[in-house]
Chain A
């Protein structure tokens, strides 16, 4: 069943038994976050909180729209039980195609049903949740898509970055200094000391948010990627106070300007690695000039934290497919890349046709070239199913030589400061280190000395297996 907007998608989830509507009044202050967390940790449904304390009926909060593989499959219009391998393959294929967006007028854009402008702007009219006890503020932007524009080329980038309510008309946030948001600000606006228009979009088509987590290359149009997933163009509409274009069916759009010379506190926040660590007050401040929203808006929250949740699942998909493409371009004979959600994009599994030290070093080289979000990489041979962590662990334990098979690289200025094990000093300088665990057989070993995997499929000949299969029933073993 297909859907047009975030809102329609809840109908799909409802029909598939993947949605729980919470009708009892709940508190935006910690209670919705706690419920969301508990439900993630028991692989529960997507949540729609329908009555929020302090807020009028109709103002709703969701949690976990695509927080499990079955719900990601549904967002991609695939059957709910599609395997992770097939979800990856479909995602990779659809990302190859682009369907450019179309623009519509305000009359055809539900996100313009209500418009709050200038001194009417009051972010406290929305039930922005205090997600975790002790967070630095009310994070209105968790499952968002943040749009800004490069002046020279007109390219509008989408990315997912955290934003909290600072005051009734200021947001603070923390797109990392290595993000494309920062890239655009630094090249287009910083030199002119000009404010940068920005739109924080909540509740667009679910694929828009997944694509916002994807490391799509600079100057590529994320809206056209989303179009390919939908099989038809995305409707975009112009902002009220800037020439940014936003998804017309979004629930809430916050329009503002990043100040080039003003800052205010952001964070700390319980983040995607599964911790609240010391990344705070090192971001940006946004003066809000307008908020437009649908009637009865749904604020799309994710109670971010330990995996799995929407973040670790989306990143598993969007990061892995980008890495596979990048590694292939870099000359690594990749078969598949898997980003296990439990490894929160810190741990990456790379399957290769041919392994060895040279390839392992190439893998390390690729992962340390530009902005660095990862730190541990396990390279395995083709016979290992990268999606099966049991097989990956077995290969790591038995094929990675602790003296010869581990390669490091240190760097500065481009690490991921959210990495929990970095010291305050390393974080402040974006210093880091990455490692590759070469868990492949050395290609220089003659084939006849390579240890043979002692599994049914690999250590018995085809004849033996065929013989056993033929006689299976006669053994009287009921479990096949």
Chain B
């Protein structure tokens, strides 16, 4: 099972369901921690997502949540999210998520 890592401000910010996230690849080797921007299904429960990978959460202070979540990547997006320098990436992801759910 592949392992990924993502950052949230507080653990309680992480919501289950279809999410737009930046995730980092934890596979060993020179490309470890490479980032992918994705739309993915995430859940606390392994059984709630198809072909799950592990997803480790870290907080804004870099503290790791003791249990992994589970993730199944649905779509890869470009390296960035639309937004002006010195604005919040989390806010930009929220806006992008709302747009996806509207356009559905």
B62, A263: Cβ atoms closer than 8 Å: no
Residue of B nearest to A135 (CB): B62
Interface readout for B28-48 with A: 1 if CB under 8 Å, 0 if not? Answer: 011111110100000000000
A283, B30: Cβ atoms closer than 8 Å: no
Residue of B nearest to A266 (CB): B89
B9, A185: Cβ atoms closer than 8 Å: no
B83, A282: Cβ atoms closer than 8 Å: no
- By CB atoms of chain A within 10 A, which of B30, B82, B84, B85 has the most? B85
B-chain residues with CB within 8 Å of residue A261 when the two chains form the complex: 82-84
- By CB atoms of chain A within 10 A, which of B29, B33, B64, B81 has the most? B33
**Is A106 engaged at the interface, CB distance under 8 Å to the other chain?**
no
Given A124-B31, A278-B60, A281-B90; A263-B79 close (CB under 8 Å): no
**Is A15 engaged at the interface, CB distance under 8 Å to the other chain?**
no
Give the size of the chain A interface in residues (CB under 8 angstroms).
43
Q: Pick the residue among B29, B31, B58, B88 that contacts A282 (CB under 8 A).
A: B88
B-chain residues with CB within 8 Å of residue A130 when the two chains form the complex: 32-33
Give the size of the chain B interface in residues (CB under 8 angstroms).
31
**Is B18 engaged at the interface, CB distance under 8 Å to the other chain?**
no
Interface readout for A155-176 with B: 1 if CB under 8 Å, 0 if not? Answer: 0000000000111101000000
B-chain residues with CB within 8 Å of residue A283 when the two chains form the complex: 85-86
Given A260-B84, A268-B7, A285-B80; A54-B30 close (CB under 8 Å): yes
B-chain residues with CB within 8 Å of residue A278 when the two chains form the complex: 9, 60-61
Dominant SS at the A interface? loop
**Is A84 engaged at the interface, CB distance under 8 Å to the other chain?**
no
Interface residues of A (CB under 8 A from B): 29, 54-55, 124-125, 127, 130, 132-138, 165-168, 170, 177, 182, 185, 190, 258-265, 268, 270, 276-278, 280-285, 424
Interface residues of B (CB under 8 A from A): 7, 9, 22, 24, 29-35, 37, 58, 60-64, 79-90, 92
Known: A259-B80, A262-B82. 8 other contacts (CB 8 A): A167-B34, A185-B85, A260-B84, A263-B85, A264-B37, A278-B61, A281-B89, A284-B85
